Amino acid sequence: SAVISQKPSRDICQRGTSLTIQCQVDSQVTMMFWYRQQPGQSLTLIATANQGSEATYESGFVIDKFPISRPNLTFSTLTVSNMSPEDSSIYLCSAIGADSYEQYFGPGTRLTVT
């Protein structure tokens, strides 16, 4: 199994600023992802974090707003740029284990933008 940690666990940010969320996995994984979960809603995939290359974004999400890095197999960052109150959400890091079957989730980062 894989254990995923995220930092920070929560933050309150001002409109117009940016926040970088870190994701660390305790074992090698094949794929890493970033999701957003708004209150009372299901998870929405933001992007697939690709090691050493640009992330693959889902429809409605763009690199300028959500730049993502994945410098190695077990670490990724998501930046929420030029934040607005609409960005208030929980951001979850996820990874598929080396067995390429089980998908694990981090504890999430609760972001509030004022």
| Binding positions for other proteins, rule: CB under 8 A | 4, 31, 33, 40-45, 48, 56, 58, 92, 94, 96, 101-108, 110
Q: Could you give the CA distance from residue 103 to residue 97 in angstroms, rounded to a whole number?
A: 6
Work out how close the CB of 68 gets to other proteins at its nearest, in angstroms, rounded to a whole number: 14
Work out how close the CB of 22 gets to other proteins at its nearest, in angstroms, rounded to a whole number: 15
Task: Note the Cα 106 to chain centre separation in Å.
Answer: 9
Work out how close the CB of 16 gets to other proteins at its nearest, in angstroms, rounded to a whole number: 27
Length of the chain: 114
By beta-carbon proximity to other proteins, the closer residue of 92 and 113 is 92
Residue 12 burial class via C-beta count within 10 angstroms: exposed 0-12, middle 13-18, buried 19 and up: exposed
Is the preceding omega at residue 71 within 30 degrees of 0, hence cis?
no
By beta-carbon proximity to other proteins, the closer residue of 13 and 31 is 31
